[in-house]
Amino acid sequence: MPYPANDVQAFEAHATDADLDDLRARLAAARLPEAETVYRAAPDPRRWDQGVPLADLVDLVNYWRTEYNWRSFEARLDWIGQFRTTIDGLGIHFLHRRSARTDATPLILTHGWPGSIAEFIDVVDELADPKDAAVPAFHVVVPSLPGFGYSDRPATTGWGIGKIAAAWVELMERLGYSKFVAHGGDWGGVITTVLGGRFPERVLGIHTLTPQAPSGMTTDGLTAAERAWTEESRDFWCGPRAAFAKQQAARPQTIGYSLVDSPVGLLAWILDKFAEWTDTEDNPFETISRDGILDIVTLYWLTRTGASAARIYYESHGGVNAFDPELRVDVPSAISVYPHDIEKCPRPWAQQRYRQIVRWRSPETGGHFPSLEVPEFFVKDLQEGLAAVLAADR
């Protein structure tokens, strides 16, 4: 049932027992392929050369079917506080935790793909009510991207990064936050950049893990380490490892049938990215728990958003919804580039777009999902980065 315009309603996540029974039945009846032909004994990152190894998938499927507890995840979402509102005709779901501190600053955290709001649920409390009174506190808002989780699935085209950024401004306004800071990684990092560039009168500053370099940059003057970053990023986007993005940008509907119909297919599609994009030696469970990954996958499954989430690539690659190559960000910006992320932008390149970088960090560990991989470091880094942003804005 759609909510009236401008109305914010409390929301509770609750899958039916029938949906959970159906999931377990599908997992029990899964028809799996033979083992990969590049088999290697663990530990060895090359085990994943053809994708998710059969033995790893079988173990995780069995755990998902017999031991994983979805109700625990639902309870954690409800503890933070869930809401929905309708913006531009689309229902938007979000978490909202107000700080007890009177000096708290509104903060919007935006996830990417194949992530979800689950990336942030374990860091919300410390961001809202930090144990150290000397660090900034935040009123934390964590929206589900359109087509993800409990947000509605768009029925028409148009929900690219620009429209999402504008929707976030409207969302924060409805919550009484006329000015705010923003953080994001992956698509969330791109949307955060758009927020800072297009809405400087509303955005006090940003923290991003995914700085966007202007087009046409050269490696002249870069250090050897910075040149290596550019080569790694180029190899990723120009090589076979980016096939997932090309598929989802060109034919999201085609892969969507597998993602919505088969829980094992959905799990393998997402697990492959967690394995490759985390800072690990053999598998993603070195830094992220099985439950942590299954929280994300099960959220996609129960909300049937495998196809609609994939469409963010279709909506935001090329055409009128593409990232503006001329966008300039003048608000204070803090940037952290984790060592095992898939896209790393050198600071000299970033400075051509982000004109007031107040803090730049290159952590020693961590990959594409730092809030899950190194949560304590991530929170401290985000607090310090946003503290620098707020100090510069005064």
Low pLDDT (below 50) residues in the chain: 1-3
pLDDT of residue 2: 46
- 3-state SS string over 11-36? ECCCCCHHHHHHHHHHHHCCCCCCCC
Backbone angles phi, psi at 144, to 5 degrees: -85, 125
pLDDT of residue 321: 66
User: With contact defined as beta carbons under 8 Å apart, do 219 and 230 qualify?
Assistant: yes
The dihedral through the CA atoms of 315, 318, 324, 325 has a sign that is: positive
Which of left, alpha, beta for 217 (phi over 0: left; psi -120 to 50: alpha)? beta
What single string gives the DSSP state of each residue in 267-307? HHHHHHHHHHHSS-SS-GGGTS-HHHHHHHHHHHHHHT-HH
Amino acid found at 330: D
pTM: 0.96
Burial 302-324 (b: 16+ CB within 10 A, else e): bbebbbbbbbbbbbbbeeebebe
Domains and CATH numbers, the chain: 8-393 (3.40.50.1820)
